[in-house]
Chain A
Amino acid sequence: MAATKIINMDYGAGKPTDKRAIDAMIPYMNRMYGNPSSLHSMGQEAKNALHQARKQVSELINAERAETIIFTSSATESNNLAIKGTVNRNKDRGTKIVTSSVEHMSVVNPIKYLTTKGFESAFVPVNSYGEIDLNTLEKELNERTILVTVVFANGEIGTIEPIKEISKIVHEKNAILHVDATAAAGQIPIDVQDLGIDLMTLSSNDMYGPKGVGALYVKDGLRIEPLIHGGGQEKGLRSGTENIPGIVGFGKAAEIAKQEMQVHQQKLTKLRDRFIEGLLGQLPYTFLNGHPTKRLPDNVSVRYSFIEGESMLLSLEMSGVLVSSGSACASKTLEPSHVLLATGLKHEEAHGSIMFTLGRDSKIEDIEYVIGLMPTIINRLRDMSPLTPKEIKNVLR
């Protein structure tokens, strides 16, 4: 069972930095190491690079101006800045934060923290595909609601949320809309002006930029409070000397993502659909997590009844395939993914989930190889499981 070659199908967890982004970064680590706050030529050089990157990121999402982009250290920081910065600025207007039940922990935990500081929260449920229930969202919005924060597309199950409809509902009630576009940005077109987004989180590595950089889009004219106070960089919203090489790499990655989006989107969607079709048609008691079509191009999340995700993950790794699992056993907590549970799955169903996330380098041969591996892996584990019904075993033979 010695693995010959590694096939990464866990790009959602980490992506390589595009070579063109690396090339753009290097000069800012050796020759052009100035501080953008310096008035001399070396500082101005860095300042220009910073502006260029801001422009590149703003153009990816069709923001009004480059200055709407605030660079941070990560999508997690951007989510924290958006949520805490908005509610702290607006606490005289109200104390309620509305979100969904399929958010990333960097949205869930800041909100939980804020509820210990006098804010109230509401987690709007989703349907079995993971789509936010708009009727409940509307009901949760009242005169106290200051912020609604929702994910653009969930990275675990891939479901794309109806952002335009959500924006309409939120703005009718005069609340502010923050969207976490970490997994979506760079993969699918996003136009913040057309969709009516007030704040939006972006991640560099998720679009093949370097790790350690994120951004928050803050709509022109919208005022929020900073998390980090100091020298007043990033319009006072994020003090600290800017990570110029990282930001330059992020800018280049955003530019590439915009230029090549259509090509990658089409290619990945094709691979994704073949993968899903291959897996679902293969073995009984196999199900797709998330929406079949309103779905990120890179995401294939499936579940197999009667077996557990980590043992699938380990079995695939024995054949050189790297994946991620929605089961408790592969995580730090003992609970399965809250996102899978929110779609209505029972604990034992969620435990049987496995997530493949494709990347720009993924090939059809890799997909076919993994499809070919699954029956042996699944049948072996089902054979060992006390939950597998006898009649299924006969089918498997």
Chain B
Amino acid sequence: MYSDKVMENFKNPKNTGEIPDADGVGTVGNPVCGDMMTMYIKVKDDRIADIKFKTFGCGAAIATSSMTTEMAKGKTLEEALKISRQDVATELNGLPPVKMHCSNLAADALHAAIKDYYQKQQASKEVKK
């Protein structure tokens, strides 16, 4: 059902875990639907210096989480915001059609973490003012 690359990312996912002092955190999905993921990012000089994830879900959910973190690592925030669900699926040599919507949420979680980072930055600037 899955490509070898999906299975490889499911077997040996990269960047699992939490970053306790993360600069941005994004959670998408819902356990009711069967898929939920949280992405943690550490930002340095406008680049993603470190990234980790926690995922509840199927093989595709775990594999896309792993792949997204690999794709985002070292990129500028602007570049990382451009990573789409389709890009992640392509990088994994495709996903079964039924998985494209329900389990391919990792890019959204990444975007949510970046937005969270921007909001925190905004908030701290306002405090400084």
Contacts and interface: CB of A to CB of B under 8 A. Distances in A.
Contact of A386 (B11, B27, B33, B103): B27
A346 B34 CA distance: 11
A244 B51 CA distance: 63
A330 B13 CA distance: 20
Interface stretch (B54-62, B69-77, B116-124): B54-62
Q: For chain B, which range describes its interface: under 10, 10 to 19, 20 to 34, or 35 or more residues?
A: 20 to 34
Contacts of B13: 384
A351 interface: yes
B43 interface: no
Interface of A: 1, 306-311, 314, 318, 327-330, 332, 334, 336, 346-348, 351, 383-387
Most buried by B among A307, A332, A351: A351
Contacts of A306: 56
B114 interface: no
B84 interface: no
Interface of B: 2, 7, 10-11, 13, 16, 27, 31-38, 54-62, 98-99, 102-103
A311 B57 contact: yes
A383 B18 CA distance: 11
Contacts of A383: 16
15 contacts: A1-B11, A308-B56, A310-B59, A311-B10, A311-B57, A311-B59, A314-B7, A329-B99, A329-B102, A336-B34, A346-B32, A347-B34, A348-B31, A351-B34, A384-B55
A318 B9 CA distance: 13
Can you list the 7 inter-chain pairs with the closest CB atoms, starting with the nearest? A329-B58, A310-B58, A348-B31, A386-B54, A385-B56, A347-B32, A351-B34
A384 B54 contact: yes
Given A334-B34, A348-B31, 11 more contacts: A308-B56, A310-B59, A311-B58, A311-B59, A314-B2, A314-B58, A329-B57, A329-B99, A351-B31, A384-B55, A386-B36
B11 A318 contact: yes
